[in-house]
Structure 1
Amino acid sequence: MILWFTLIAVAVAALGGVLCVVLGLVGRRPSDLSVGVLALLELLLIAQVVIAIVAPFAGNPPSGSLLEYWVYLVSAVLLPPAGVVWALIERSRWSTVIMGVAALAVAVMVWRMQVIWTIQGM
Protein backbone atom coordinates (compact mmCIF):
# COMPACT_ATOMS: atom_id res chain seq x y z
CA MET A 1 0.00 0.00 0.00
CA ILE A 2 0.99 3.59 -0.41
CA LEU A 3 1.16 5.53 2.85
CA TRP A 4 0.10 8.92 1.49
CA PHE A 5 -2.90 7.37 -0.28
CA THR A 6 -3.87 5.57 2.92
CA LEU A 7 -3.69 8.81 4.88
CA ILE A 8 -5.90 10.57 2.32
CA ALA A 9 -8.45 7.74 2.39
CA VAL A 10 -8.50 7.66 6.20
CA ALA A 11 -8.87 11.46 6.36
CA VAL A 12 -11.72 11.51 3.83
CA ALA A 13 -13.48 8.64 5.59
CA ALA A 14 -13.06 10.14 9.07
CA LEU A 15 -14.03 13.69 8.11
CA GLY A 16 -16.92 12.47 5.98
CA GLY A 17 -18.08 10.17 8.75
CA VAL A 18 -18.05 12.93 11.33
CA LEU A 19 -19.84 15.25 8.90
CA CYS A 20 -22.59 12.71 8.22
CA VAL A 21 -23.05 11.91 11.91
CA VAL A 22 -23.31 15.60 12.79
CA LEU A 23 -25.70 16.28 9.90
CA GLY A 24 -27.88 13.37 10.99
CA LEU A 25 -27.90 14.37 14.63
CA VAL A 26 -29.04 17.90 13.76
CA GLY A 27 -31.92 16.42 11.80
CA ARG A 28 -30.78 16.56 8.17
CA ARG A 29 -31.94 13.83 5.87
CA PRO A 30 -29.59 12.32 3.27
CA SER A 31 -28.60 14.92 0.71
CA ASP A 32 -26.17 15.35 -2.15
CA LEU A 33 -23.50 16.36 0.38
CA SER A 34 -23.78 13.26 2.56
CA VAL A 35 -24.17 10.86 -0.36
CA GLY A 36 -21.36 12.64 -2.23
CA VAL A 37 -18.97 12.08 0.66
CA LEU A 38 -19.61 8.35 0.49
CA ALA A 39 -19.30 8.40 -3.32
CA LEU A 40 -15.87 10.05 -3.02
CA LEU A 41 -14.89 7.48 -0.42
CA GLU A 42 -16.02 4.68 -2.74
CA LEU A 43 -13.86 6.07 -5.55
CA LEU A 44 -10.86 6.06 -3.23
CA LEU A 45 -11.59 2.46 -2.25
CA ILE A 46 -11.84 1.38 -5.89
CA ALA A 47 -8.47 3.03 -6.49
CA GLN A 48 -7.19 1.06 -3.48
CA VAL A 49 -8.33 -2.16 -5.13
CA VAL A 50 -6.27 -1.25 -8.21
CA ILE A 51 -3.28 -0.37 -6.03
CA ALA A 52 -3.59 -3.69 -4.16
CA ILE A 53 -3.57 -5.60 -7.44
CA VAL A 54 -0.61 -3.72 -8.94
CA ALA A 55 1.58 -3.29 -5.82
CA PRO A 56 2.85 -6.90 -5.52
CA PHE A 57 3.89 -6.86 -9.19
CA ALA A 58 5.73 -3.56 -8.60
CA GLY A 59 7.82 -5.04 -5.79
CA ASN A 60 5.63 -4.04 -2.84
CA PRO A 61 4.24 -7.31 -1.45
CA PRO A 62 2.26 -7.41 1.80
CA SER A 63 4.08 -8.41 4.97
CA GLY A 64 0.93 -9.80 6.59
CA SER A 65 -1.85 -12.13 5.51
CA LEU A 66 -3.01 -11.41 1.98
CA LEU A 67 -6.34 -13.11 2.65
CA GLU A 68 -6.99 -10.95 5.72
CA TYR A 69 -6.10 -7.83 3.69
CA TRP A 70 -8.52 -8.69 0.89
CA VAL A 71 -11.34 -9.51 3.32
CA TYR A 72 -10.92 -6.05 4.84
CA LEU A 73 -10.73 -4.41 1.42
CA VAL A 74 -13.79 -6.13 -0.02
CA SER A 75 -15.76 -5.37 3.14
CA ALA A 76 -14.68 -1.73 3.05
CA VAL A 77 -15.68 -1.44 -0.62
CA LEU A 78 -19.16 -2.77 0.17
CA LEU A 79 -19.89 -0.51 3.18
CA PRO A 80 -20.39 2.90 1.46
CA PRO A 81 -22.85 1.61 -1.17
CA ALA A 82 -24.74 -0.30 1.52
CA GLY A 83 -25.00 2.87 3.60
CA VAL A 84 -26.23 4.89 0.62
CA VAL A 85 -28.82 2.26 -0.32
CA TRP A 86 -30.07 2.26 3.26
CA ALA A 87 -30.22 6.06 3.22
CA LEU A 88 -32.15 6.16 -0.04
CA ILE A 89 -34.64 3.55 1.14
CA GLU A 90 -35.31 5.00 4.59
CA ARG A 91 -34.61 8.74 4.04
CA SER A 92 -34.61 9.76 7.68
CA ARG A 93 -32.07 11.62 9.77
CA TRP A 94 -30.91 8.31 11.21
CA SER A 95 -29.93 7.02 7.81
CA THR A 96 -27.54 9.97 7.54
CA VAL A 97 -26.04 8.88 10.87
CA ILE A 98 -25.75 5.32 9.52
CA MET A 99 -23.81 6.63 6.51
CA GLY A 100 -21.48 8.41 8.91
CA VAL A 101 -20.94 5.28 10.97
CA ALA A 102 -20.20 3.34 7.77
CA ALA A 103 -17.61 5.94 6.75
CA LEU A 104 -15.99 5.85 10.20
CA ALA A 105 -15.83 2.06 10.01
CA VAL A 106 -14.12 2.34 6.63
CA ALA A 107 -11.53 4.71 8.14
CA VAL A 108 -10.62 2.10 10.73
CA MET A 109 -10.58 -0.68 8.14
CA VAL A 110 -8.30 1.24 5.76
CA TRP A 111 -5.82 1.91 8.56
CA ARG A 112 -5.93 -1.78 9.52
CA MET A 113 -5.21 -2.67 5.89
CA GLN A 114 -2.13 -0.43 6.02
CA VAL A 115 -0.94 -2.25 9.14
CA ILE A 116 -1.50 -5.66 7.53
CA TRP A 117 0.34 -4.61 4.39
CA THR A 118 3.37 -2.93 5.95
CA ILE A 119 3.90 -3.75 9.64
CA GLN A 120 2.52 -7.19 10.41
CA GLY A 121 5.00 -10.04 10.12
CA MET A 122 4.19 -13.35 8.49
Structure 2
Amino acid sequence: MIEWFTIVQVVVALAAGLLCIVLGLAGRKPNDLTMGAAALVELLLIVQLFIALFSPAFGNDPRGSLLEFYIYLISAVLLPVAGGFWALIERSRWSTVILGAVCLAVAVMVYRMNVIWFVQGQ
Protein backbone atom coordinates (compact mmCIF):
# COMPACT_ATOMS: atom_id res chain seq x y z
CA MET A 1 0.00 0.00 0.00
CA ILE A 2 0.99 3.58 -0.50
CA GLU A 3 -0.03 5.76 2.42
CA TRP A 4 -0.88 8.95 0.47
CA PHE A 5 -3.01 6.92 -1.96
CA THR A 6 -4.88 5.42 0.98
CA ILE A 7 -5.65 8.91 2.27
CA VAL A 8 -6.94 9.90 -1.18
CA GLN A 9 -9.13 6.79 -1.26
CA VAL A 10 -10.63 7.48 2.16
CA VAL A 11 -11.35 11.13 1.33
CA VAL A 12 -12.94 10.27 -2.04
CA ALA A 13 -15.03 7.47 -0.52
CA LEU A 14 -16.23 9.73 2.31
CA ALA A 15 -17.12 12.53 -0.12
CA ALA A 16 -18.94 10.12 -2.44
CA GLY A 17 -20.77 8.54 0.49
CA LEU A 18 -21.93 11.83 1.94
CA LEU A 19 -22.96 13.10 -1.51
CA CYS A 20 -25.04 10.01 -2.21
CA ILE A 21 -26.67 9.99 1.22
CA VAL A 22 -27.58 13.69 1.02
CA LEU A 23 -28.98 13.33 -2.50
CA GLY A 24 -30.85 10.16 -1.56
CA LEU A 25 -32.43 11.72 1.50
CA ALA A 26 -33.37 14.70 -0.67
CA GLY A 27 -35.38 12.29 -2.84
CA ARG A 28 -33.03 11.95 -5.83
CA LYS A 29 -32.96 8.65 -7.67
CA PRO A 30 -29.63 7.19 -8.81
CA ASN A 31 -28.21 9.29 -11.63
CA ASP A 32 -24.92 9.85 -13.43
CA LEU A 33 -23.49 11.85 -10.51
CA THR A 34 -24.17 9.25 -7.83
CA MET A 35 -23.26 6.28 -10.02
CA GLY A 36 -20.13 8.11 -11.17
CA ALA A 37 -19.09 8.75 -7.58
CA ALA A 38 -19.46 5.05 -6.77
CA ALA A 39 -17.59 4.15 -9.98
CA LEU A 40 -14.71 6.44 -8.95
CA VAL A 41 -14.52 4.68 -5.59
CA GLU A 42 -14.44 1.34 -7.45
CA LEU A 43 -11.72 2.53 -9.83
CA LEU A 44 -9.53 3.60 -6.91
CA LEU A 45 -10.06 0.20 -5.28
CA ILE A 46 -8.94 -1.59 -8.44
CA VAL A 47 -5.81 0.56 -8.53
CA GLN A 48 -5.27 -0.30 -4.85
CA LEU A 49 -5.56 -3.99 -5.70
CA PHE A 50 -2.72 -3.70 -8.22
CA ILE A 51 -0.64 -1.65 -5.79
CA ALA A 52 -1.14 -4.29 -3.09
CA LEU A 53 -0.20 -7.09 -5.46
CA PHE A 54 3.08 -5.48 -6.54
CA SER A 55 4.16 -3.63 -3.37
CA PRO A 56 5.80 -6.65 -1.71
CA ALA A 57 7.99 -7.13 -4.80
CA PHE A 58 9.40 -3.65 -4.21
CA GLY A 59 10.10 -4.13 -0.50
CA ASN A 60 6.85 -2.71 0.88
CA ASP A 61 5.73 -5.72 2.92
CA PRO A 62 2.67 -5.68 5.19
CA ARG A 63 3.18 -5.79 8.95
CA GLY A 64 -0.16 -7.45 9.65
CA SER A 65 -1.97 -10.47 8.29
CA LEU A 66 -1.84 -10.59 4.51
CA LEU A 67 -4.89 -12.86 4.41
CA GLU A 68 -6.95 -10.41 6.48
CA PHE A 69 -5.80 -7.55 4.26
CA TYR A 70 -6.87 -9.29 1.05
CA ILE A 71 -10.21 -10.33 2.52
CA TYR A 72 -10.90 -6.67 3.27
CA LEU A 73 -9.68 -5.61 -0.18
CA ILE A 74 -11.71 -8.14 -2.16
CA SER A 75 -14.81 -7.40 -0.08
CA ALA A 76 -14.32 -3.67 -0.63
CA VAL A 77 -13.94 -4.20 -4.38
CA LEU A 78 -17.22 -6.13 -4.49
CA LEU A 79 -19.28 -3.63 -2.46
CA PRO A 80 -19.57 -0.77 -5.03
CA VAL A 81 -20.35 -3.29 -7.78
CA ALA A 82 -23.18 -4.79 -5.71
CA GLY A 83 -24.48 -1.35 -4.70
CA GLY A 84 -24.34 -0.18 -8.30
CA PHE A 85 -26.34 -3.18 -9.52
CA TRP A 86 -28.88 -2.56 -6.78
CA ALA A 87 -29.17 1.08 -7.81
CA LEU A 88 -29.68 0.12 -11.46
CA ILE A 89 -32.30 -2.51 -10.68
CA GLU A 90 -34.29 -0.61 -8.04
CA ARG A 91 -34.34 3.01 -9.13
CA SER A 92 -35.49 4.70 -5.93
CA ARG A 93 -34.16 7.29 -3.53
CA TRP A 94 -33.19 4.51 -1.13
CA SER A 95 -30.88 3.03 -3.73
CA THR A 96 -28.99 6.31 -3.70
CA VAL A 97 -28.77 6.13 0.10
CA ILE A 98 -27.49 2.56 -0.19
CA LEU A 99 -24.79 3.75 -2.62
CA GLY A 100 -23.77 6.28 0.02
CA ALA A 101 -23.65 3.64 2.74
CA VAL A 102 -21.53 1.43 0.49
CA CYS A 103 -19.05 4.26 -0.11
CA LEU A 104 -18.84 5.00 3.62
CA ALA A 105 -18.27 1.30 4.33
CA VAL A 106 -15.47 1.29 1.75
CA ALA A 107 -13.85 4.28 3.49
CA VAL A 108 -13.82 2.37 6.78
CA MET A 109 -12.49 -0.77 5.11
CA VAL A 110 -9.67 1.11 3.36
CA TYR A 111 -8.69 2.70 6.67
CA ARG A 112 -8.62 -0.76 8.27
CA MET A 113 -6.49 -2.07 5.39
CA ASN A 114 -4.07 0.78 6.07
CA VAL A 115 -3.86 -0.26 9.73
CA ILE A 116 -3.24 -3.89 8.77
CA TRP A 117 -0.54 -2.96 6.26
CA PHE A 118 1.37 -0.30 8.22
CA VAL A 119 0.57 -0.54 11.94
CA GLN A 120 -0.63 -3.94 13.07
CA GLY A 121 2.17 -6.28 14.15
CA GLN A 122 2.16 -10.01 13.73
Deviations, residues 101-120 of structure 1 (Å, cap 9, x unaligned)? 00000000000000000000
Partner of 2:97: 97
Q: CA RMSD in A?
A: 0.3
Q: Does 1:21 align with 2:21?
A: yes
Q: Which amino acid aligns with 1:76?
A: A
Tell me the distance in 2 between the aligned counterparts of 1:42 and 1:101: 14
Q: How many residues align?
A: 122
Partner of 1:84: 84
Please, what TM-score do these two structures have when normalized by structure 1? 0.99
Unaligned runs of 5+ in 2: none
Which SS does the other structure have where 1:30 is aligned?
coil
Tell me the distance in 2 between the aligned counterparts of 1:81 and 1:34: 13
Q: Does 1:9 align with 2:9?
A: yes
Partner of 2:67: 67
Please, what TM-score do these two structures have when normalized by structure 2? 0.99
Structure 1 runs (4+) deviating above 4 angstroms are none
Identity of aligned residues (%): 64
Tell me the distance in 2 between the aligned counterparts of 1:15 and 1:40: 11
Tell me the distance in 1 between the aligned counterparts of 2:47 and 2:73: 11
* Residue 79 of structure 1, CA deviation: 0.4
